[in-house]
Amino acid sequence: MRIITIVLGLLLGLILLAAAYTWIALHYSYSEGERAGYLQKFSKRGWLCKTWEGEILLSSMPGAIPEKFEFTVRDDVLAAQLSAAAGKRVVLTYAQHKGVPSKCFGDSEYFVGRVTVTP
């Protein structure tokens, strides 16, 4: 009986530790910033955990090969704004969360918190 109590206590401790780590990874950002580019791709995807994933093309100057910036959106209202802005130039305000333990929270480590459509 004592061994079962110890094993259950260790298991509960590991679960609490994993939950605390996940909470910290999602609520404290490594970096924050803005990226501007043309919204090329935006969709809700995933087998079990559906997340909003997108991609903008960053171009530093005309004729240069654009760089892709992949991002995740967790807010449905923000996702609707981005869906309406497909093909347009947008400015994304993001927070980078390193070490998020599961793809259920998003495919990328860049989580967008605000979008501005620019003319």
Write out the two tokens for 70.
Answer: 């992949």
What values do phi and psi take at 78, rounded to 5?
Answer: -65, -35
- Taking the whole predicted model, whether its pTM rises above 0.85 is answered as no
Residues 51-71 have pLDDT tens digits of 999 999 987 777 778 899 999
| Amino acid in the structure at residue 30 | Y
- What domain range is 73 assigned to? 3-118
**Side-chain-facing half-sphere of 77: CA atoms under 13 Å:** 2
Answer yes or no: are the C-beta atoms of 89 and 45 closer than 8 Å.
no
The CATH number given to whatever domain includes residue 19 is 2.40.50.140
Count the domains in the chain: 1
Place of tokens 């043309």: 38
Q: In this predicted structure, what is the pLDDT of residue 31?
A: 94
pLDDT tens readout for residues 85-104? 998 999 999 999 998 888 88
Looking at residue 64, its pLDDT comes to 78
